[in-house]
Structure 1
């Protein structure tokens, strides 16, 4: 049973897998050849099923040696249970990542079934490019504040007696701001690592979303922004929400800061009950909508807003904030969308499902 929808949960089949799956029986004949394997190898399933595995997948290593002869799954070492993933070549020279698992009838018995996993190297290259881009962005973002900190501290140490107390205070405030910027960037990197690896922890407790939004508005006002720029609308009755308060603060801080920095006019925040269908029929939850009256987000950019490094303008930032926001919302079992506000600006809406104490992580 799928508890998020109340409907029976259908089991996943081989064709639902993103990677190629090929299995062979004790005689080395193919018994499963899923849709991803067809896409990667361009071999039709009807041609593969029942055929010898070595003919369906005539793999060679990067030196041109036949891989099946090298590994000899059916006649090789009787204690071997797997082959680690490695780069091999399909006919025509197409590179593919291949791993294998040997299913034996006994620890040292004959191979009963051979399971081969195929992964397209294009996906790996995209991941590598993303990691390289992340490293370049981080290096660039760290260089500026660290250079500033080093320059100011070196100047203070060399010419301490020449500065007035007011000048010293100004320099130290600048160093403190740059150190805070580095700390925020490191926190973002840790969040991305946890999101990408599925290890983002959600420590749930009761959260009053309306109060949390009000606290963030007060912080902006205390920072010098006019109070009339913010409009908070709360539509009761709000369901009880169990969520991670620190991570909810991350979401609100990012969305409000974006609306203030990149938007114009009044920033409207609405906190209201969410319809059950927004959570797959799970009984509803809470929805928060943040909108502004600025130029908005171009239609062609809407599908990239929650990706890494997307920046809505040239006004600074790493372009990682909304990617992290989406990861946090989804870790809570919620959803987030972006669209155009009635006033023409950007409109972000995230919904969080009802979660009772028994649902705590």
Structure 2
């Protein structure tokens, strides 16, 4: 089902950046708005206290401190207050008072009001619509040690706070919109579009990797040499290497198929040649018999080479039939199998009888035979096999006392057809051995090599005993 374009646009990176920018700007404006609203309320009230104080000074300047009712009402109206008192050290002085008594419903003392309390009062007033008489107390800005107390109606303060809130809200929305648009277009040009180009190149290359064109790294970023350009260059290099590897693997696959077909036919030809060579070994003529033996050995080597080539050309990992058995038994079988062909070569297993491994016995047999035969062919006279359990993994070390591996061999050690130590070798032994170990979930690697010998490390996952069927003991293979 096709994706909804509106939903896809809403969930795009550019849209999310836009909404995130708007949210951050509005949140920042909100953090500024609340303290500024409390400050606006406090400043307005302090200004009102100052105006009341000025009105009180006008009364003090009148003859005998007396005013006619009309002048009193004008002063109260101009100051916006209903009552004004001055508190001095000598006592309370009633300066301006209305003819009737007014009972306030709230009292605010600016002398002890904190900034946080001002913010709280302002927020409450912001959502209030009722006009109430309130008492305001503050220090006189004109006379030291004098406190001004006034009673006023709250309507004007509420109107001021509402107007201020609306103006700040509108300004915040404008700032958020402008900032969000600027950030959106900047991120669109500097981040989103380069990511889209890189993503589009990945999708196109994945659809047809053999014919896909690597991304043009220079056209990705507007800033030139930045992180996006670096990512594009790395992607282009990877695409070129992957395309070359795919072409190479395609040719190797075709060559492998041809080699497998030829090798299969060649095995039949070698079988016929082996029968004829066996007849020559039975000849009474000594020279003919020796020639027959040489031919038999040559055919055996050719047959082994064909077998290894077919094993390597097999598609996919070999099937693994897992059983659980002592590693010492397997090394004993390998030693018995190698005795006829490795005169003067000894295998010393330093293994505990209770060390059990889980795997395909026949495949692991081939792994150890390949490794030990390579050691013998490299000139080693003795191989020591050690093993230990490390964090649920069996670690097996095969140490020989040979002359070590030269640098060219180490560089291509596990590469087929190029990693052979001896002349005429195929280099398939170690490659196949590593494939078999990886088919078990483990690995084979060169741990150390030098004039004193070579050490190969094999790792094999250890599984609980009940996960694999028990294997019957082969007493004849016990070393």
Under a length normalisation based on structure 2, what TM-score does the superposition of the two structures give?
0.43
Among 109, 126, 143, the residue aligned to 2:248: 126
Residues 156 and 173 (structure 1), Cα distance of their counterparts in 2 relative to 1, 3 Å cut: closer
Give CA deviations for 1:248-296 in whole Å, capped at 9, x if unaligned.
11101100110000133x32222322312xxxxxx232x3322222221
Superposition map of 1:146-185 within 5 A? 164=284, 177=297, 180-185=300-305
Change (3 A) 1:86 1:221: closer
Q: Is 2:393 aligned against 1:284? A: yes
C-alpha distance in 1, partners of 2:441/2:246?
28
TM-fit CA distance, 1:49: 4.9
Superposed CA RMSD: 4.9
Looking at structure 2, the residues matched to 331 and 252 of structure 1 have their Cα atoms a distance apart, in angstroms, of 15
Aligned counterpart in structure 1 of residue 435 of structure 2, from 304, 317, 327: 327
Residue matched to 1:221: 339
**Relative to structure 1, is the Cα distance of residues 167 and 301 closer, same or farther in structure 2, using a 3 angstrom cutoff?**
closer
* Alignment of 1:257 onto 2:373: yes
| TM superposition shift of 1:91 | 7.9
Q: How has the CA–CA distance of structure 1 residues 50 and 294 changed in structure 2, closer, same or farther, with 3 Å as cutoff? A: closer
Paired with 1:274 and 1:164, the residues of 2 have a C-alpha distance of 57
In the TM superposition, what is the alpha-carbon distance from 1:319 to its structure 2 partner? Answer: 0.9
Check whether the contact 1:146–1:178 (CA below 8 A) recurs between aligned residues: no
1:313-340 Cα offsets, whole Å, 9 max, x none, are: 3332211111111111111111222133
Query: Do the aligned residues in 2 keep the contact of 1:311 with 1:319 (CA within 8 Å)?
Result: yes
Residue 273 of structure 1 pairs with residue 388 of structure 2: yes
Quote the Cα distance in structure 2 between the aligned partners of 1:57 and 1:335.
31
Tell me, yes or no, if structure 1 residue 210 matches structure 2 residue 328.
yes
Structure 2: state its 5+ residue gaps. Answer: 14-189, 217-238, 470-479
SS for the counterpart of 1:236 is: coil
Aligned residue number for residue 245 of structure 1: 361
Deviation, 1:206, is 2.6
The residue that corresponds to 1:188 in the other structure is: 308
Aligned match for 2:352, one of 236, 239, 258: 236
Instruction: Could you tell me which runs of 5 or more consecutive residues in structure 1 were left unpaired when the two chains were aligned.
Output: 1-23, 33-43, 60-82, 93-117, 277-282
Residue by residue over 1:43-99, the C-alpha shift from the partner in whole angstroms, topping out at 9 and shown as x without a partner, is x97325568x99x7998xxxxxxxxxxxxxxxxxxxxxxx8877355688xxxxxxx
- Go from structure 1 to structure 2 and tell me whether the alpha carbon gap of 1:292 and 1:132 turns closer, same or farther (over 3 Å shift): farther
Larger-gyration structure (1/2): 2
Displacement of 1:223: 3.1
More displaced 10-residue stretch of structure 1: 145-154 or 231-240: 145-154
Residues 20-45 of structure 1: CA deviation (Å, up to 9, x unaligned): xxxx966599979xxxxxxxxxxx97
Quick check: 2:449–2:455 contact (8 Å CA) kept in 1? Answer: yes
Instruction: Flag the 1:86–1:302 CA change in 2: closer, same or farther, 3 A.
Output: closer
Indicate the SS of the match to 2:211.
strand
Whether contact under 8 Å (2:334, 2:368) holds in the other structure is: yes
Q: How far 1:352 sits from its partner (Å)?
A: 1.5
TM-score (norm 1): 0.55
- The aligned counterpart of 1:47 is 193
State the alpha-carbon separation in 2 of the partners of residues 156 and 220 from structure 1: 23
Q: Which is richer in helix? A: 2
Displacement of 1:222: 2.7
| 1:58–1:90 contact (8 Å) kept in structure 2 | no
